[in-house]
Amino acid sequence: MKKFFFFIIPFALVSLTLHSLYIFITKDLPDPESKMPIAVKMFYNDGSPMYISKNLWIDLSEVPEMFLKTLLISEDEDFYKHFGIDISGLMRALIYDLVTFSFSQGGSTITQQLARSLYLSNEKSLIRKFKEMMIAFWLEKRRTKDEILEMYINSIYVGNGLYGFETAARYYFGRSLKELSLAEMAVLVGMIRSPENFNPKDNLEKAKEKALTVLKRLLNEGVIPQNRYEEALKDVENLKVSQNGNYHFNEELFWRIVGELREIGFSLNEVRKGYALYTTIDKDLQRIVESVSGERKDIAFFSMNPKTGEILCYHGIGVNEGNRQLGSAIKPFYYYLSFLMGYSPKDIIPDLPIKIGSWSPENFTKSFKGAITLEKALIWSENVPSVILFDILTLNSVKDFLKNSLKISGKYPDDLTLSLGTLETSPEEVVKAFSAVINGGVVLKPFVIKKIVDSNGNVVYEGKPHIVGSVATYKRGPIDATNILKTILLEVVNEGTGRLAKIPGKNIMGKTGTAEKNAWFVGGDDNFLMGVTIDGEDLLGGRACAPVWKEVVERWGKFEGKVSITSTSFNDGKVIFSERILNMLNFERIVKLIYEGDVSEDSLVFFLKKLPQKYQVEFLSKIYEIDPILSTEIWKKVIQ
């Protein structure tokens, strides 16, 4: 008897606890039908529809028998036998999770998956898994197996912002579920666990691999014979995805909106219950950039209002999460810092060969002007003067300014190559920082959600400009530094590397960027900034991206081209030189390039005349060690 009580009492306590938890978790759950997906409604900034999801219902009686077999064999073979929970599958998954601490194994029945999609988040935890089981058991008590299966088939997320297998069939293959081949059915079933990674529009090869796994399972379970299996394999190999896009959908933009929803405290599940999302996206601009991009995967656009932070267009892969190097598009940021620190655009800096350790940066043209003003160095995007300026400002100071003042997130190198844009970041981060340096130093958080309206017409959220940082005053204030920089960026487009973005009658500020594997152009005026980046080797920002920027803006027709600048006059600039710069100079190469005509001797003489005599002597002494005659000739010109 004691042994009996020894076992029965703990069993009773566990049962009572589970029953109490079951009641607690399920007591206030609404009917599952009320949680089924309805249209997600998103609108452009003019109120016209941007995206209204299509959730096409299909009755269970209309679902092909082969699709049902494929689905059940792959996801829940014992669906019609269990009570919502597959104990054996669950134990396997639970043991794996406890051993690995990953909480990543499946083990979820179709009923559990339905419970999760209707009532829970996708968080991977034992607590969520336990709730999922309780709700699955609750569903099985209130709905028949056929009703549960029908709800599952019509509510499952199928990628690209869509729900339900009938929707998926029409979106990915342009036909109804009843008209699909076995291979196409296998593709749809294969993407259940990760529709963003395995849907055939975005990842065709991965989708095919998953489909092969599904078909192999059908063969092994005796659902299809060998000859039909082999036919299906051929169909998978020749799979065609619908290009019509029955729904106009920009997946990157959709998930950018969803990401912002989560930031402000809304879930996609909430919003798809009848909320309307009004965005800041300009319909005409968005459609133009999508048209210009076509099927290209190597181009991205991001545009915002630099005064408010409102996102105006968003298109391409990695717009806010990319790892693209900036190239020379980084230069305006630390030139802006130099102006804050009191440097003048008229200041003169050496443009001569340098060597820093084993690194010898080059100008794009491989030639040197001897000396150049800061403004001309930025207008023509000269590398060597920029590296020298960067070194003067110091690596730590520039990194701190980029990270903590301009709030640019990304992967930063720990060396002077940062001066030429080896920082890896995204178009959104770049345009956000450009906005700050042309609006007087105010860093605005880009936002895309203008307002959210519930099903009763109540505005439950309004997006507003949000300042996330500001530039401090150094020797010069941020507004004065902005005026200097804006003047220079105008000339980048008028006469510099951004000339191919020029539009008659419009004032355009801009900057090009060229990195090893991508190119940039960022341009605009006081109320509009747009970044264009194209991936690929041997591309130039001025030739590849600037013309695309111009095409988009001209087709858009709303670009005003208005740039307001408070003029600031400067006397002749001072010469920027020091012992450190002297030690950077590669004098052997300087001598060689003077003879080859790639360093202007007259410009060098002009520069030397500006230097204090101490540096004139030291400079020419270095030349004398290599070529006494040349050194003497230059000295004669300097003292004339």
CA distance 592 to 586: 10
Higher-pLDDT residue of 30 and 398 is 398
Same domain for 485 and 626? no
Q: Are 191 and 202 in contact (CB under 8 A)?
A: no
Whole-number pLDDT of residue 99 = 52
Whole-number pLDDT of residue 637 = 92
Q: 113-132: per-residue pLDDT in tens?
A: 988 888 886 666 677 777 88
* Total residue length of the chain: 640
Window from 2-16, 92-106, 519-533, 603-617 with minimum mean pLDDT: 92-106
pLDDT-derived band of residue 542, with 50, 70 and 90 as boundaries? very high
The answer to whether position 63 is within a domain reads no
Query: Which residues have CB under 8 Å from 298's CB, separation 6+?
Result: 534, 535, 536
pLDDT-derived band of residue 258, with 50, 70 and 90 as boundaries? confident
Window from 5-14, 127-136, 338-347, 542-551 with minimum mean pLDDT: 5-14
Q: Are 107 and 90 in contact (CB under 8 A)?
A: yes
pLDDT at 270 over 90: no
Q: What is the mean pLDDT of residues 539-555?
A: 97
CA distance 499 to 542: 7
The answer to whether position 408 is within a domain reads yes
Same domain for 546 and 623? no
CA distance 259 to 253: 10
pLDDT at 373 over 80: yes
Domains of the chain: total = 2
CATH number for the domain that contains residue 357: 3.40.710.10
> Which residue in the block uniquely carries the two structure tokens 């190097």?
325
Bridge partners of 521, per DSSP, are: 512, 532
Listed ranges 194-208, 233-247, 420-434; the one with the highest mean pLDDT: 420-434
Q: Which of 518, 536, 556 marks a domain boundary? A: 556
Same domain for 488 and 614? no
Q: What is the mean pLDDT of residues 278-306?
A: 95
Window from 87-91, 266-270, 387-391, 611-615 with minimum mean pLDDT: 87-91
The dihedral region occupied by 67, where left means phi > 0, alpha psi between -120 and 50, and beta the remainder, is alpha
Q: What is the DSSP letter of 411?
A: B
Element of type H or E holding 376: helix 374-379
Query: Which residues have CB under 8 Å from 456's CB, separation 6+?
Result: none
pLDDT-derived band of residue 98, with 50, 70 and 90 as boundaries? low
- Closest of 441, 439, 442, 410 to residue 427, by C-alpha: 410
Same domain for 632 and 492? no
pLDDT at 38 over 90: no
Q: Are 519 and 501 in contact (CB under 8 A)?
A: no
- Closest of 56, 108, 74, 53 to residue 187, by C-alpha: 74
Q: Phi and psi at residue 302, in whole multiples of 5°?
A: -145, 130
Q: Are 428 and 447 in contact (CB under 8 A)?
A: no
Q: Are 325 and 541 in contact (CB under 8 A)?
A: no
> Which residue in the block uniquely carries the two structure tokens 């009570």?
83
The answer to whether position 113 is within a domain reads no
Same domain for 598 and 498? no
Whole-number pLDDT of residue 246 = 47
The answer to whether position 385 is within a domain reads yes
The answer to whether position 242 is within a domain reads no
pLDDT-derived band of residue 104, with 50, 70 and 90 as boundaries? very low
Whole-number pLDDT of residue 105 = 44
Q: What is the pTM of this model?
A: 0.74
pLDDT at 12 over 60: no
Q: Are 334 and 570 in contact (CB under 8 A)?
A: no
Whole-number pLDDT of residue 345 = 97
Q: Which of 556, 577, 607 marks a domain boundary? A: 556
Higher-pLDDT residue of 33 and 381 is 381
Identity of residue 492: V
pLDDT-derived band of residue 185, with 50, 70 and 90 as boundaries? very high
pLDDT at 455 over 90: no
Same domain for 407 and 552? yes
Q: Which of 511, 536, 556 marks a domain boundary? A: 556
Q: What is the mean pLDDT of residues 330-353?
A: 97
Q: What is the mean pLDDT of residues 247-268?
A: 84
Helix, strand, coil shares of the chain as percentages rounded to 5? 50, 15, 35
pLDDT at 18 over 60: no
Identity of residue 231: E
Same domain for 343 and 464? yes
Same domain for 392 and 518? yes
Side-chain-side CA neighbours of 65 within 13 Å: the count stands at: 2
Q: Label residues 271-305 b or e (16+ Cβ within 10 Å = b).
A: bbeebbbbbbbbbebbbbbbebbeeeeebbbbbbb
pLDDT at 549 over 90: yes
pLDDT-derived band of residue 3, with 50, 70 and 90 as boundaries? low
- Residue-number span of the structural domain to which 628 is assigned: 586-639
Q: What is the mean pLDDT of residues 411-435?
A: 97
The answer to whether position 143 is within a domain reads no
Higher-pLDDT residue of 6 and 147 is 147
Q: What is the mean pLDDT of residues 621-635?
A: 94
In percent, how much of the chain has pLDDT > 70?
89
Same domain for 623 and 485? no
Q: What is the mean pLDDT of residues 590-606?
A: 89
Higher-pLDDT residue of 321 and 207 is 207
CA distance 140 to 640: 99
Pair of tokens at residue 465: 């400009």
The answer to whether position 77 is within a domain reads no
- For the packed helices 587-596 and 613-626, what is the interaxial angle rounded to 10 degrees? 80
Strand (E) positions, 346-417? 348-351, 370-373
Across the chain, mean pLDDT equals 89
Pair of tokens at residue 154: 């019509």
pLDDT-derived band of residue 533, with 50, 70 and 90 as boundaries? very high
Same domain for 368 and 473? yes
pLDDT at 103 over 50: no
Q: Are 440 and 482 in contact (CB under 8 A)?
A: yes
Same domain for 402 and 464? yes
Q: Are 192 and 156 in contact (CB under 8 A)?
A: yes
The answer to whether position 417 is within a domain reads yes
Identity of residue 296: R
Q: To 5 degrees, how large is the angle CA 50–CA 320–CA 49?
A: 5
Higher-pLDDT residue of 301 and 114 is 301
Higher-pLDDT residue of 8 and 170 is 170
Whole-number pLDDT of residue 23 = 66
Q: Given the DSSP bridges, would you call strands 370-373 and 41-43 parallel, antiparallel or unpaired?
A: unpaired
CA distance 640 to 152: 90
Whole-number pLDDT of residue 106 = 53
Q: Given the DSSP bridges, would you call strands 370-373 and 348-351 parallel, antiparallel or unpaired?
A: antiparallel
Q: What is the mean pLDDT of residues 485-494?
A: 98
Q: What is the mean pLDDT of residues 271-294?
A: 91
> Which residue in the block uniquely carries the two structure tokens 């981060």?
429
Whole-number pLDDT of residue 132 = 84
In percent, how much of the chain has pLDDT > 90?
68
Same domain for 534 and 613? no
Query: Which residues have CB under 8 Å from 550's CB, separation 6+?
Result: 500, 501, 502, 503
Query: Which long-range contacts (C-beta less than 8 Å, at least 24 apart) are formed by 138-146?
Result: 138/22, 138/25, 138/26, 138/29, 139/32, 139/84, 139/111, 139/114, 139/115, 140/83, 140/84, 140/111, 142/32, 143/32, 145/79, 145/80, 146/60
Q: 530 by DSSP, 3-state: which?
A: strand
